[in-house]
Amino acid sequence: MNALESTSTRPYLIRALYEWCTDNGFTPYVAVLVDESVQCRAST
């Protein structure tokens, strides 16, 4: 298996950051940069 065939490590990184924050008494937040190029579906 090479790097292109492996699964993403992003979920593990996000979970680790969340657990570190909560273990140390911090409130985890997610900040995103949104500009005119961001597209989203309209909720129904």
Q: Which domain holds residue 32?
A: 1-44
Residue 39 is predicted with a pLDDT of 85
Residue 30 is predicted with a pLDDT of 82
Q: What is the pTM of this model?
A: 0.51
Helices (H), the chain: 10-23
Residue 20 is predicted with a pLDDT of 96
Minimal CA–CA distance to 14: which of 1, 30, 25?
Answer: 30
Domain count, the chain: 1
Q: pLDDT by residue (tens digit) across 1-44?
A: 566 666 776 788 889 999 999 999 999 988 888 899 988 887 76
In angstroms, the CA 8 to CA 14 distance is 11
Residue 27 is predicted with a pLDDT of 95
